[in-house]
Amino acid sequence: MILLITGTDTGVGKTVTTAALAVRATGSVAVVKPAQTGVAPDEQGDLDDIHRLSGLTKLHEGIRLRDPLAPTTAARREGVRLPPVAVHAKAIDELARTNDTVLVEGAGGILVGLDAEGNNLADLAAHLTTPFGFVVVARAGLGTLNHAGLTVEALRSRGLPIEGLVIGSLPAEPDLAEECNLEDLPAVTGVPVIGRIPAGAGSLDQEAFKAAAPSWFE
């Protein structure tokens, strides 16, 4: 099974969610970040965070770009040619042959381009031959109903399967909007909330993260 982790925006908690999904998964797990932007060659990327939180070692970064921008923009500025999404899809299918679960973390939200032709994570998914589903990470608070609705609509219009929504960071004491959204997100999007990552989860040490992560999912 391949899970593609997208989000309603950048910074919504895709990386922490991916680490938690890696802990929850049974059997062998590999994680792929097709395009990592905003880090220099010697800096820590999202896969380093996933390793720190989950202890997972099967981590595959497709391409790394220095500027904290969308991959197509960062690549243009660096004069780098991005690999076509079909190349990423082939590598992901290959990993799925030898692993029970492959988690793929996108860059930013669903319509962000991952290659020179502007193909995005949805286009990448269309190349996969292994069964897959999307996980949509969303913010907890005011505004998330629209952003989650738009993301779900974009996936549905392409006929792509959605496993569920995950709240990337839920405060211990939710405000009124955060509380109401837990009920309204499934109603508005037609997709269940399958996970709630507590705020602060990204700062836990590995032992605490691994102990708690399974309880964050339905």
Kindly list the catalytic residues.
33
Report if residue 63 touches ligand ATP, rule: CB under 6 A.
no
Q: Which residues pair with 33 in a beta bridge?
A: 61
Q: What is the DSSP letter of 215?
A: G
For Mg ion, which stretch binds (CB under 5 A), given 12-20, 65-73, 80-88, 92-100?
A: 12-20
First and final C-alpha spacing in the chain = 18
Tell me the torsion sign for CA atoms 90, 96, 151, 174: negative
Encoded one letter per residue, x for contact with Mg ion by CB under 5 A and - for no contact, window 43-82 reads ---x------------------------------------
What does 71-114 look like in DSSP terms, one character per residue? HHHHHHHHTPPPPPHHHHHHHHHHHHHH-SEEEEE-SSSTT---
User: Contact with ligand ATP (CB under 6 A): which of 2, 3, 12, 140?
Assistant: 12
User: Contact with ligand ATP (CB under 6 A): which of 88, 168, 189, 191?
Assistant: 168
Binders of ligand ATP among 106-165, rule CB under 6 A? 107-108
Q: Look at residues 218, 212, 145 and name the one whose alpha carbon lies nearest to residue 183.
A: 145
Annotated binding site: 11-16, 37, 46, 105-108, 168-169, 198-200
Annotated binding site for ATP: 11-16, 46, 105-108, 168-169, 198-200
